Amino acid sequence: MTKELKTTIEPSDITAVEITCTHCGTVISQQISVWQNNMAQCPSCNTSWMPHRQFLIYIGDIAARLRHLTSLPKENPGPSISIRFAIRSEDEL
């Protein structure tokens, strides 16, 4: 017998994105509901994040799409679907 533990989340389960400055270790938690693409540098050590600007813009786009997904009415006419994302297990790290 094989047993598998699988963890999934719905888009509404994602509430924030954490960004860690690899220079000083400061962790910033940015709420999805109020995401702003105005992070040009670390607020603690002032290390420039401009080389990663495009990546931060992509994260902002994902945040906007997640806000849209979670604001859709739960009951739409047509086929019913449920969207969940699988989370990598400890064994897969």
Q: How far is CA 22 from CA 36, 41, 50, in A?
A: 20, 12, 14
User: Residue ranges of the domains in the chain?
Assistant: 9-71
Task: Write down the pLDDT at residue 45.
Answer: 96
3-state secondary structure of 1: coil
Does the pTM surpass 0.75? The reply is no
Of all residues in the chain, the percent with pLDDT exceeding 90 is: 17
**19 contacts 40 by C-beta, under 8 angstroms:** no
For residue range 43-66, what is the model confidence (pLDDT) as tens digits? 999 999 888 888 888 888 988 888
Tell me: the pLDDT tens digits for 30-41? 898 888 777 889
